[in-house]
Amino acid sequence: MGAVRTFTTASESGTEALGHQLAAEIGVAGLVLLHGDLGAGKTAFVRGLARGLGADPDDVSSPTFTVMQEYRGGATVLRHVDLYRLVPGFDVEELALEEFARDGVVAVEWAERFDEVASGAWIVRIGIGDGDQRQVEVTSPA
């Protein structure tokens, strides 16, 4: 496991800004596994990632009928996956997330549904605090 850092954000825009900031560290490829309850701010974080990677943050939403959305615009592609609505029995392995993560950045919401222990992934855990406070724990790849 890599270095663990904990950030506190006080607003949705603060969580977006953190995603933006981390995009620079993640670079052009990598797997970002997002954990946190509904409303924690996972999608907000991905919006910041999109901005940091040169894509349009306004394109980022939680896909209802698509498992994976792609945002282009910068030097790389950001693929956004939300495993929340996966039907039981859906094989997450078939998404080949780690392969996609070799030629672009893949951000996965509800990563707890992705059983495989992904080595070399960024892990972002967002905890809900008082009011608009969020604790964002970021583990960088080993």
* Measured distance CA(128)–CA(39) in Å, rounded: 8
Considering only residues 39 through 98, tell me which ones interact with ligand ADP, judged by CB under 6 A.
Answer: 39-44
| Among the residue ranges 9-17, 39-47, 72-80, 97-105, the one whose residues contact Mg ion (CB under 5 A) | 39-47
Strand, helix or coil for residue 70: strand
Selected from 15, 16, 40, 43, the binder of Mg ion by CB under 5 A is 43
Considering only residues 7 through 46, tell me which ones interact with ligand ADP, judged by CB under 6 A.
Answer: 9-12, 14-15, 36, 38-44
Q: Point out the residue whose Cβ comes nearest to Mg ion.
A: 43
| Among the residue ranges 6-14, 23-31, 70-78, 99-107, the one whose residues contact ligand ADP (CB under 6 A) | 6-14
Q: Which residues contact 142 (CB under 8 A, 6 or more apart)?
A: 1, 2, 119, 120
Considering only residues 86 through 105, tell me which ones interact with Mg ion, judged by CB under 5 A.
Answer: none
* Measured distance CA(136)–CA(128) in Å, rounded: 9
51-77 in b/e burial notation, b at 16+ Cβ within 10 A?
bbbebebeebeebeeeeebebeebebb
Binding residues for ligand ADP, rule: CB under 6 A, are: 9-12, 14-15, 36, 38-44, 109, 132, 134
